Amino acid sequence: VEQHGQHRQPREQWTGQVGFILAAIGSAVGLGNIWRFPGVAYENGGGAFLIPYLVALITAGIPILFLDYAVGHRFRGSAPTAFRRLGGPRGRSLEALGWFQVAICFVISLYYTVVIAWALSYFVFSFDLRWGDDTAGFLVGDYLQASDPGFSLSFVPSVLIPLVLIWVAVIVVLALGVARGVQRVNVIFLPLLVVAFAALVVRALFLDGAAEGLNALFTPDFAALADPNVWIAAYSQIFFSLSIAFGIMITYASYRRRRSNLTTPGLVVAFANSSFEILAGIGVFATLGFFAFQQGVAVGELEGLTGVGLSFITFPAIVSQMPGGPIFGILFFGSLAMAGFTSLLSVLQVVSAGFQEKFGLSPRQAAVRVGVVAAVLSILLFSTTTGLLALDTVDNWANNIGIVLSAILASVFAFWVLRKGPELRYHLNSVSTFRVGGIWTVLAGILAPVILGYMLISRIVSLIV
Ligand code: PHE
């Protein structure tokens, strides 16, 4: 019997395995794949980075993904509910861990929307290459109107309009529910994204200088493997990229039918995400190779190879110089917006579902309430000139410290404090075709928390020093 629910309705469900897989891939494939992975790989050993990356995927990414799936599916709830049930007599303190994940998702949604709004604007600017020759000056001065570093709370209309549009769209989709809203958007956007991005990669490969770009990305620097920071970068990339330990995969798995295969879809999601990441690396670096070729410099001399710099300064400049640039810009910013939107749905679904279950709200009530509060905060914080500067700091804390801590706690509680390892493993294996052995317990219960603990400590140390 449900403790909190006022009106009991059967739990929402994906319409089937494909819907679940597409939504999970939609969450995993996001800005991180397109603007984070290529630069991170390049800076951390190039081709050699694939080794720590794959090790991280197999030793921590997939095992923790399975842990998320097992908890969400076995205990049929969003993060707070699922952890409360997992905790049994200690449910209350474990529920807090779920709310911590809800809080991280809430914070992420506030600025993730902003980046998608920028992508939408730049999608439109691609038509007439509105950014001109000085793309950095355009971004900061004309578009964000943030060149004056003083404290100011004036709204930037060019950001405000797309931001409001995105928030309205998210609220509508979440209000429609898991199957009719979230799943449907993923079913449409994911194939579109793959087609658009594949077209972009093919075009990029035919640019002059593409080969040099790929050489820059893939030439292995094996000496980098001796550097612990390279390994930390690999584990962080995998965690962020797979959307694990945010409560997302717990929540998404909870909408999977009761007797469902969990591990095989998990493997599909993990490998689809990594494949998209490598595809993005190829597309981004082929394009950067062209840019370096145009300027007669080496790829290594370019600046702005990740994040906001890559997407909103470097890429617009490249698009301006390329024959057929507008089409390329449309494909790039369209991909960024679609990839971002499906990830955004997943973070907000975590928040919305948490409140639905706590207060017995319908999906629509929860989506509207959570969405409106988040939208107002996001608009107040990030569409004013001052707020934009805060984006980086918030991002760093939520992603780097927040999720690592939450993954450690989830693993330590599940395996050590509550000793639920065997039960969760049995649950994973009960209907799955790919069965996990004792090795899963070792990876998710021992190795992953040890590595993550090391990461957390070294991060905190580097923030203090
Ligand atoms: N996995 C997404 C990406 O690679 C990012 C993301 C992180 C999405 C956390 C939602 C929550 O960009």
User: Is the backbone of residue 228 left (phi > 0), alpha (psi -120 to 50) or beta?
Assistant: alpha
* More confident of the two residues 385 and 449: 449
| 68 vs 150, more confident | 68
Region 420-446 average pLDDT = 95
Task: Please write the tens of the pLDDT for every residue from 178-193.
Answer: 999 999 999 999 999 9
**CA–centroid distance for 430 within its chain:** 29
Q: How far is the CA of 194 from the centre of ligand 1 (A)?
A: 17
CA of 30 to the centre of ligand 1 (A): 5
Q: Which two tokens stand for residue 387?
A: 């707020």
**Residue 359 placed within a domain:** yes
Residue 3 lies in a domain: no
Q: How confident is the model at residue 159 (pLDDT cuts 50, 70, 90)?
A: confident
Q: In the predicted model, is pLDDT for residue 98 greater than 80?
A: yes
Q: Which atom of ligand 1 is found nearest the CA of 28?
A: 1
| Average of per-residue pLDDT across 247-261 | 96
Residue 460 placed within a domain: yes
Separation of CA 457 from chain center: 23
Enclosing domain of residue 396: 17-464
pLDDT of 151: 57
pLDDT at 176 over 90: yes
Q: Which residue has its alpha carbon closest to ligand 1 atom 10?
A: 343
pLDDT above 50 for 5: no
Question: For ligand 1, which residues put their CB under 6 angstroms from it?
Answer: 27-28, 30-33, 108, 240-241, 243, 246, 248, 343, 346-347
CB-based contacts of 108, cutoff 8 Å, min separation 6: 246, 347, 398, 399
**Could you tell me the pLDDT band of residue 398, with boundaries at 50, 70 and 90?**
confident
- Between 137-141, 145-149, 255-259, 410-414, the lowest mean confidence (pLDDT) is in 145-149
Q: Which residues pair with 10 in a beta bridge?
A: none
Residue 81 CB contacts under 8 Å (≥ 6 apart), including other chains: 75, 95, 98, 254, 354, 357, 358
CB distance 20 to 73 below 8 Å: no
What confidence tens digit (pLDDT) does each residue in 190-212 have?
A: 999 999 999 999 999 999 999 99
The pick from 27, 186, 275, 395 for probing ligand 1's pocket by mutation, whose C-beta has the most ligand atoms within 8 angstroms, reads 27
| Alpha-carbon distances, residue 292 vs 105, 213, 214, 301, 372 (angstroms) | 37, 8, 12, 8, 44
SS3 155: strand
Amino acid 141: pLDDT: 86
> Using one digit for the tens of pLDDT, what is the confidence trace for 231-251?
999 999 999 899 999 999 999
342: left (phi over 0), alpha (psi -120 to 50) or beta: alpha
- The predicted structure's pLDDT at residue 34: 96
Evaluate whether residue 1 is within a structural domain: no
119-157 residue pLDDT tens: 999 999 999 999 999 999 999 888 887 766 555 666 788
| 162 within a domain of the structure (yes/no) | yes
Query: What digits encode the pLDDT tens for the residues 351-362?
Result: 999 999 999 999
pLDDT range class, residue 366, cuts 50, 70, 90: very high
Model-wide pTM > 0.90:
yes
pLDDT score for 2: 45
How many Å lie between the centroid of ligand 1 and the Cα of residue 269? 13
DSSP letter at 267? H
Average pLDDT over the chain, rounded to whole? 93
Structural domain count of the chain: 1
Mean pLDDT, rounded, for 258-286? 97
Q: Which two tokens stand for residue 31?
A: 């800005």
User: What is the reported pLDDT for 446?
Assistant: 97
Atom of ligand 1 nearest to the CA of 242: 1
Write the pLDDT tens digit of every residue in 17-63: 999 999 999 999 999 999 999 999 999 999 999 999 999 999 999 99
Nearest CA to ligand 1 atom 8: 343
- C-alpha to C-alpha distances, 445 to 60, 101, 141, 442, nearest whole angstrom: 10, 19, 49, 5
Instruction: Give the per-residue pLDDT at 403.
Output: 86
CATH number of the domain to which 156 belongs: 1.20.1740
Q: How confident is the model at residue 8 (pLDDT cuts 50, 70, 90)?
A: low
pLDDT for 3 beyond 50: no
8 in any annotated domain: no
Tell me how far apart the alpha carbons of residues 36 and 339 are, in angstroms, rounded to a whole number. Answer: 13
Does 9 map to a domain? no
Residue in 31, 106, 400 to alter for ligand 1 test, most ligand atoms within 8 A of Cβ? 31
DSSP secondary structure string for all residues of 55-67: HHIIIIIHHHHHH
Residue 273 is which amino acid?
N
pLDDT of residue 128: 96
**Per-residue model confidence (pLDDT) at position 391:** 66
CB-side neighbour CA atoms (13 Å) of 88? 6
The confidence score (pLDDT) of residue 464 equals 84
Other C-beta atoms closer than 10 Å to the C-beta of 20 total 26
Closest approach atom of ligand 1 to CA 339:
12
Give 287-348 as a 3 state SS string: HHHHHHHHHCCCHHHCCCCCHHHHHHHHHHHHHHHCCCHHHHHHHHHHHHHHHHHHHHHHHH
Domain assignment present for residue 409? The answer is yes
Minimum-distance ligand 1 atom for the alpha carbon of 344: 10
The CA 8 to ligand 1 mean position distance, Å, reads: 31
**Ligand 1 centre distance from Cα of residue 105 (Å):** 10
What confidence tier does 390 reach under pLDDT thresholds 50, 70, 90?
low
